[in-house]
Amino acid sequence: MAEPAAESVVQVRQHAVQIDHWQDDDLSPPELLFNRELSLLTFTRRVLELARDPKVPLLERLRFLCISCTNLDEFFEVRVASVRQRLQHGANQPGPDGLTPSAALEVIRDAVVEMVQEQYRVMNDELTPELAEQGIHILRRSEWTKRQREWLHDHFRQELMPVLSPLGLDPAHPFPRILNKSLNFAVALEGRDAFGRDSGMALVRAPRSLPRIIRIPENHSRGPDDFVFLSSIIHAFIDELFPGMQAKGCYQFRVTRNSELFVDEEEIEDLARALEGELMERGFAEAVRLEVADNCPEDITRFLASKFGIEDADIYRCDGPVNLNRMSAICDLADRPDLKYPPFQPNTPKSLLSGSNLFHAIRRRDWLLHHPYDSFQPVVDLLRQAVSDPDVLAIKQTLYRTGVDSALVGLLVEAARAGKDVTVIVELRARFDEEANITLATRLQEAGVQVVYGIVGHKTHAKMLLLVRRENDRLVRYVHLGTGNYHQGTAKAYTDWSLLTGDARIGQDVHRIFQQLSGLGRVQKLNKLVQSPFGLHDFLLERIDRETRHALAGKTARVSAKMNSLTEPSIIHALYRASRAGVEVKLVVRGICCLRPGISGLSDNIRVRSILGRFLEHSRIYHFENDGQPETWAASADWMERNLFQRVETCFPIEDADAAERVYHDSIQLAFEDNVQAWELQGDGTYHLMHPVGEEQPRSIQGLLMEQAADD
């Protein structure tokens, strides 16, 4: 069995006390739960470790570094903003983990300072030198040759100066509104301005319309892959923006703002219009973090902090560009396939290939697809065939995230224009996709699609497609259910399961849920599906408690599940009770996990692993052994409060025995055999990277499934 590599440990300090053994029957003490925010930071730290992994291609390591920075941005925009809001509203009561918001902000600060230092160390000391060894140079100003400097100076005058608008600060030019995450420069000036006054400070905003990474032409460099930051060019020639004055210092800064949208859905009449108004102000909401260059003088830093209402604890100094995530452009600009993951071609079952009659194929049997190892194209092709099939009368679909240029949206438009009855549930409140979803909703409505925005107070997160077709003088339903979004891009990068079925009872269930979402009536009893917020939480507790009863009776008992996050306290307590009864619990939790595994007398029968690799592990799978009569389910819901109580989610059974065995094998079994990409959570909050032991061969869940797809 694989063991953790002692040198590969990731930890973000948890506040919880060390627990070696638990004897109390009371499972409510807060020390039994990890803090949600710190657990999320630990996930981001594991992503950062991929940037250090020599087994990962070099440009992919750079991409993982950028992903860790993007994750940290979102962490501040959403999680830190949420904690701060609770504190500002006077709600300083401890959370389930025992931390008050004020205490949480303190430990978050310590953890983020360490992480930011590590991000820049990895960039400066590891990735930049290794990229240079491969002929990819990120040139500092001190490294520019005379010929390069001349070209860059010309580039500045022709491409940058026409779009730059420096702002000198005085009573007529007060401190401006600074857009969320925009790159800006504070410039300390010396000399007199054009009107004879002593100069002071000016601000320069980097143009959002220009790329942050500039490639120097090959005839001015050592090769095709010499790059310069846009910020370096502005630094070098900043004086030219202030004729007659001298720039004594130029310092990058970036502010991160609260990006949560608040709309009182009970009081508004038009959700789309209300969200549009909120989106206009999102970029200028309350500041939650200020990033400044590490050489920025203290007086300028404090001046900026005062303008943003930022405390010292919210200031982070950066040993390099304040927007490292922009370096991801290099991964695309550098034409170096040898430094990237090799191309991967997903498998498509022969019966589902383009050109096949998919209605006939699904009528014969259910089809289970594991993306990205199985292609998402059959789902697109099914909708395409429905659009052109005169026997298809109605199409109903949920859309949460689809992408800007979604082929599925185009097909829905085409179907409506062809006279079919098309209803689409568009979730406008999909975080950071609100604007795109408002745009696609407008496009659908203009084509004659009946667009519904879901349920007030509950996001529609379920993934459902329903096709109603006339066959032999009767109406037949065809259904797609999935654990992921209807997004063709993420279907190539996220692991998810899709079920294509003509099962009449599942079709009736999906029909009833669509009726509820559009008509707001009560859902009649469902045949096979389980839905939140109406029953999924109780369903899970009942299944876990059933395994507990089996274990106490000496029967075979096991709970296995895969998800993105596990935070819901009553589910965690049920798993603790199951463990104490002897139930074997195996959990694959990619991101946040508030459960403490491996504690003697409490959770010593629980193991938790997180898989990080080329693909983002995104599927949700629940498996209950049930004394030899196993049940396997796939779902759109994580085991979080929001998914179980505040969202419309679906959970569907995998009834075919072979298909259920495949789901368990691919999602759970292989994850616990992985000794390359698996991190195992310890009772103290640390994650240990697994590695081969002795003669054991390296075994990667994603690598094995890619090989299997290539052989099919």
Sheet containing 246-257, strands listed edge to edge, beginning at the edge strand earlier in sequence = 167-168, 201-205, 184-190, 246-257, 287-293, 315-318
CA distance 77 to 288: 7
Picking from 553, 599, 555, the residue whose alpha carbon sits closest to that of residue 575 is 599
Instruction: Give the β-pairing of 287-293 and 315-318.
Output: parallel
Nearest to 634 by CA among 489, 487, 479, 529: 529
CB 630 within 8 Å of CB 660: yes
Quick one: residue 162, left, alpha or beta (phi over 0 = left, psi -120 to 50 = alpha)?
alpha
C-alpha distances out from residue 682 to 4, 37, 384, 667, 678, Å: 10, 17, 48, 21, 13
Instruction: Order across the sheet with 226-229: list the strands.
Output: 137-138, 226-229, 213-215
Is the Cβ–Cβ distance between 35 and 594 less than 8 Å? Answer: yes
Can you read off the two tokens belonging to residue 480?
A: 């797609």
In DSSP notation, 400-453 reads S---TT-HHHHHHHHHHHTT-EEEEEE-TTSTT-HHHHHHHHHHHHHTT-EEE-
CA dihedral 259, 263, 264, 265 (to 10 degrees): -130
Looking at this protein, which amino acid is placed at residue 58? L
For residue 196, the tally of other CB atoms under 10 A from its CB is 6
The answer to whether 180 and 205 have CB atoms below 8 angstroms apart is no
- Enter the tokens of residue 699: 């075994």
Give the active site residue among 461, 487, 550, 623.
Answer: 461
Enclosing H/E stretch for 203: strand 201-205
Q: What is the DSSP letter of 160?
A: I
| DSSP notation for 97-137 | TS--HHHHHHHHHHHHHHHHHHHHHIIIIIIHHHHHHTT-E
For residues 576 and 569, give the distance between their C-alpha atoms in angstroms, rounded to a whole number. Answer: 10
Calpha distance 327→60 (Å, rounded): 12
- Catalytic: 155? no
The single-letter DSSP state of residue 665 is: I
What residues does 501 pair with on adjacent strands? 479
- Burial tier of 9 (Cβ tally within 10 Å: 0-12, 13-18, 19+): middle
Q: Which active-site residues does the annotation give?
A: 461
